Amino acid sequence: PLSKAPTQVPTHCSLGACHGCTLLTKSDGLKIRGHILLCARVLCAAVGFLVASSTVTMSAPFFLGKVIDTIYTCPPDDFSNSLSSLCIVLAGVFLCGGAANAARVYLMQISGQQIVRNLRESLFSAILRQEVGFFDKTRTGELINRLSADTGIIGRSLTDNLSDGLRSVTQAIAGVSMMFYVSPSLAAFVLMIVPPVACLAVIFGRYLRSISKRIQDSLAEATQLAEERIGNIRTVRAFGKELTEVEKYAEKVDHVLKLSRKDAAMRAGFFGVTGLSGNMIILTVLYKGGLLMASEHMTVGELSSFLMYAFWVGISIAGLSSFYSELMRGFGAGARIWELLDRKPELPLNEGVVLSSEQLKGELHFYNVSFAYPTRKDAPIFQGLNLTVPSGSVMAVVGPSGSGKSTLVSLLLRLYDPDKGRITVDGHDVRKLNPYWLRAHIGTVTQEPVLFSCSIAENIAYGAIDPGHITVQDIHRAAQIANAYEFVSGFPRGFDTVVGEKGVLLSGMIKFIDPKILLLDEATSALDTENEYLVQEALERLMVGRTVLIIAHRLSTIQNADTVAVLDQGHVVECGRHDELLSNQQGMFRKLMEKQHTVHTTKCVLCF
């Protein structure tokens, strides 16, 4: 129906639409710094162990060179003692290096998990703060992908990858320094290859950040499609669309594969060039070093040390290339997350006027309200709608499908704001009231309530303003009021069971809220006759002394309502008591009754 919030989203999501990316910005750096500072102590300790392990690693070639020179130059009578001493020192150094490396890995791992945890909490909080219209325009699969995949990529980029990058930097600096210490002329000759590789890394990073973001966006689309089809498997099965949906999903993952191949080709070329550069460094050292040895400007040990340092520098350059590529991949994922974290919701969550309990009576007014859903501005639901619900009265709202019955509930809860006009509660514009307070004083029972993946007791207590003060006796009492106590007690685990009849349980939740205003949106239309009777009986007890707005309810409830309002084409076309509207042969209410074959008996059902 046209009045329902859209269940489908546009082909192009409002977030992450731009695939173009630049290099690291100042804003990126500040955001990354903020998350790193939360684990500053652990990361500082990890960096300390990293420096220690890198120092050990880079001292090894120097000591090994000394061992080689000892082998070649040491007198035979002192050879054994000198060699033993050097090997013992080396063994101790290597043992310390291994312990430091283990500590570095452990600390980086736990800090990485902490960063991912903090990111996910912040992101989930940012998602839940957004207005409902945001979810109409944004794919659920994309949001789930950000919470799971993107946060993991950023966590790895800022911890394990950062650790590897710092280690590569440390080893490269130490290696180059020792190369100049051993042979300045040979070091200067070898390092001429570094500038071209650095320029190539910058170009590669620009491309990688862009394509990484595109891959994540494509993965989000595939996740969204899979989530929708699996969540609606009964519909897919009923229409025999399994093979069709598999083909659609295959198209999505094929697009991901196509982008991944581009990414793989670029990575292969880049790492091939950097690997070749490292090998050329080794070859250059062998050639130039051999000439220096021939002219007696280097010893065998010095050439061996220099060769090992050159080898480590080559590995470090390759490591820096990998670090830079993973960092750009993290920024690509981060751009999607920062965009959502920085987004300010259009509707406030907990700001505005709070009335005292004595001030709240429950009188509702819709003044000249016009409204269209954000994704369908060209299809207005209301155009100048006016409606008054007196305090303590029961009003039933009926109308053809798409007339906006359920939209009234959404506007009263301030899930959306009207485009024109205003809605008041006891004369107070809902846009000036605190939304959190407003919703805490409105009880809602919908046609298809949702049970969360927790126990029945937790689901019943979910609607309480302060669930921490709800006792077991309170939960049992609410279940008795909702005619659900015997039903729930019949389960092997009773109220600890994660199952239940939706309508029965959620009507029990209303009792914890104790609202002044009660909204029933087709609350029993999805139940069988037996459960409908139980829920209807419970709801009638809850309706006493409250302002009640009933959307497209059963005929028996409409008959007992103080007033019936009929919606059509964005307006209230009729309003009065049930018998008065039914007696009008030309009225909309009468025509609706006749279409559903319900005029002849009070046991029939109004279905809209």
- Give the model confidence (pLDDT) of 438-490 as tens digits: 888 888 877 666 666 677 777 777 666 666 677 787 778 777 766 677 777 77
Q: Write down the mean pLDDT value for the chain.
A: 77
User: What confidence score (pLDDT) does residue 35 get?
Assistant: 67
Whole-number Å distance between alpha carbons of 548 and 555 = 16
Question: Does the structure show a pLDDT above 50 at 603?
Answer: no
Q: Please give, one letter per residue, the 3-state secondary structure of 544-568.
A: CCCEEEEECCCHHHHHHCCEEEEEE
Contact of 551 with 410, CB cutoff 8 Å: no
The residue that leads in pLDDT, 196 or 598, is 196
Helix, strand, or coil (residue 586): coil
Task: Tell me the pLDDT band of 526, cut-offs 50, 70 and 90.
Answer: low
For 517, the enclosing helix (H) or strand (E) is strand 517-521
Based on C-alpha coordinates, what's the Rg of the chain? 35
Whole-number Å distance between alpha carbons of 540 and 542 = 5
User: What confidence score (pLDDT) does residue 371 get?
Assistant: 93
Task: Tell me the pLDDT band of 20, cut-offs 50, 70 and 90.
Answer: very low
Residue-wise DSSP of 304-365: HHHHHHHHHHHHHHHHHHHHHHHHHHHHHHHHHHHHHHTPPPSS-SS-SB---TTT----EE
- What is the percentage of the chain residues whose pLDDT exceeds 70? 80
> Phi/psi zone of residue 56: left (φ > 0), alpha (ψ -120 to 50 degrees), beta?
alpha
Task: Tell me the pLDDT band of 432, cut-offs 50, 70 and 90.
Answer: very high
Across the range 420-427, mean pLDDT stands at: 92
User: What confidence score (pLDDT) does residue 423 get?
Assistant: 93
- What is the percentage of the chain residues whose pLDDT exceeds 90? 8
Question: Does the structure show a pLDDT above 70 at 84?
Answer: yes
Residue-wise DSSP of 416-479: S--SEEEEEETTEETTTB-HHHHHHTEEEEESS----SS-HHHHHHTT-SSGGG--HHHHHHHH
What distances in angstroms separate CA 332 from CA 108, 138, 166, 298, one per listed residue? 22, 19, 21, 48
Across the range 218-224, mean pLDDT stands at: 83
Please give the DSSP secondary-structure letter assigned to residue 5.
Answer: P
Q: Please give, one letter per residue, the 3-state secondary structure of 28-74.
A: HHHHHHHHHHCCHHHHHHHHHHHHHHHHHHHHHHHHHHHHHHHHHHC
**Could you report the per-residue pLDDT of 102-118, keeping only the tens digit for each?**
888 888 888 888 888 88
Whole-number Å distance between alpha carbons of 402 and 442 = 24
Question: Does the structure show a pLDDT above 90 at 226?
Answer: no
Question: Does the structure show a pLDDT above 50 at 522?
Answer: yes
Task: Tell me the pLDDT band of 600, cut-offs 50, 70 and 90.
Answer: very low
User: What confidence score (pLDDT) does residue 368 get?
Assistant: 93
Backbone angles phi, psi at 15, to 5 degrees: -110, 145
The side-by-side arrangement of strands in the sheet containing 382-389 is 382-389, 364-371, 420-425, 428-429
Question: Does the structure show a pLDDT above 70 at 598?
Answer: no
The residues, any chain, with a CB within 8 Å of residue 259's CB and separated by 6 or more, are 211, 214, 215, 218
Question: Does the structure show a pLDDT above 50 at 589?
Answer: yes
Whole-number Å distance between alpha carbons of 409 and 58 = 69
Whole-number Å distance between alpha carbons of 425 and 325 = 56
Across the range 512-518, mean pLDDT stands at: 73
Whole-number Å distance between alpha carbons of 2 and 381 = 7
Ranking 72-86, 220-234, 248-262, 562-576 by mean pLDDT, the lowest is 72-86
Question: Does the structure show a pLDDT above 70 at 586?
Answer: yes
Whole-number Å distance between alpha carbons of 475 and 524 = 22
Strand-pairing partners, residue 515, are: none
Strand-pairing partners, residue 567, are: 572
Exposure string of 225-263, with b = 16+ CB inside 10 Å and e = fewer, is: bbebbeeeeeebeeeeeeeebeeeeeebbebbeebeeeb
User: What confidence score (pLDDT) does residue 23 get?
Assistant: 45
Question: Does the structure show a pLDDT above 60 at 545?
Answer: yes
Is 138 buried (19+), middle (13-18) or exposed (0-12) by CB count in 10 A? Answer: buried
**Structural domains in the chain?**
26-341 (1.20.1560.10), 364-595 (3.40.50.300)
The residue that leads in pLDDT, 404 or 321, is 404
User: What confidence score (pLDDT) does residue 524 get?
Assistant: 60
**Could you report the per-residue pLDDT of 283-298, keeping only the tens digit for each?**
877 888 888 888 877 7
Whole-number Å distance between alpha carbons of 314 and 78 = 36
Across the range 559-575, mean pLDDT stands at: 87
Question: Does the structure show a pLDDT above 90 at 365?
Answer: yes
Cα 578 versus chain centre, distance: 48
Question: Does the structure show a pLDDT above 60 at 191?
Answer: yes
Question: Does the structure show a pLDDT above 70 at 313?
Answer: yes
Task: Tell me the pLDDT band of 390, cut-offs 50, 70 and 90.
Answer: very high
User: What confidence score (pLDDT) does residue 513 get?
Assistant: 56
User: What confidence score (pLDDT) does residue 25 get?
Assistant: 56
Lookup: tokens for 254: 């094929």
Q: Which of 388, 389, 386, 395 is nearest to 420 (CA)?
A: 386
User: What confidence score (pLDDT) does residue 506 get?
Assistant: 45
Across the range 111-132, mean pLDDT stands at: 86
Q: Which of 394, 363, 369, 398 is nearest to 383 (CA)?
A: 369
Whole-number Å distance between alpha carbons of 165 and 327 = 9
User: What confidence score (pLDDT) does residue 493 get?
Assistant: 77
Whole-number Å distance between alpha carbons of 575 and 589 = 9
Whole-number Å distance between alpha carbons of 279 and 310 = 10
User: What confidence score (pLDDT) does residue 417 get?
Assistant: 92
